[in-house]
Amino acid sequence: MESITSSFSKIFAKGRRPLILLSFVVIVGSILAGTLSPPDPTLAQEVEGLAQDVQAGGYMVIFFNNAMIAVTFLVPLLGLGSALMASFTTGAALSAIAQQAGESPQTLFLLTVIMPHALIEFSAYSLVLSENIVIMQKILSRKGINDEVGPLVASLILALALLAIGMVVEVLTGQLLTAMIPPV
């Protein structure tokens, strides 16, 4: 088994960088497609329920939710479908929230994708999704699958670290915005 350093360097090898970027574009594009879909009020209620779960269970609920999503993205073939579904559903929830708030879904989408924690989370998801693509290619070619164990573990470790950082940034951003915006 290779060293952890070489596993991390493999993740960002020249040939893999376009896959990470492509994965990022697919995730954001799928969120946009969901945002442009007709609003589903039940999704807004589910998001409200998740917010209540965070209040009841603490901020680690954010991390565990995002970590479970990232882990499913690593499952060959299933991960790609899971990524598309989770991203589309996120966009559809944005659409429903925008409708309830009387705002434009496109505006809410833009505000979401420029938030620092969202960019960190999208980067984590893109990393594991690109690893999924590499693993699927290795399975289909029946070559080098054993060489992918190290990069898979390294991708997961890095994605989880990014998601933990993203959770902290999300919590701090929420607290900052709450302090800046006067109650209505």
| Model confidence pLDDT, tens digit, residues 87-103 | 999 999 899 888 888 89
Contact 133, 21 (CB under 8 A): no
Instruction: Report pLDDT digits (tens) over 18-72.
Output: 999 999 999 999 999 999 998 887 877 777 777 787 778 778 888 999 999 999 9
pLDDT band at 184; cut points 50, 70, 90: low
Dist. CA 12–CA 112, nearest whole Å: 26
11 closest CA partner among 126, 131, 138: 131
- 121 burial level (CB within 10 Å; 0-12, 13-18, 19+): buried
How far is CA 182 from each of CA 71, 129, 175, 179, rounded to the nearest angstrom? Answer: 38, 40, 12, 7
Dist. CA 120–CA 167, nearest whole Å: 9
Least confident of 56-70, 110-124, 129-143: 56-70
Q: What DSSP element (H or E) covers 69?
A: helix 60-74
87 closest CA partner among 130, 118, 50, 41: 118
Q: To the nearest whole number, what is the mean pLDDT of the chain? A: 89
Dist. CA 59–CA 53, nearest whole Å: 9
Instruction: Report pLDDT digits (tens) over 169-181.
Output: 988 988 888 888 8
What does the domain layout of the chain look like in residue ranges? Answer: 15-174
- What angle in degrees, to the nearest 10, is found between the helix axes of 149-180 and 60-74? 150
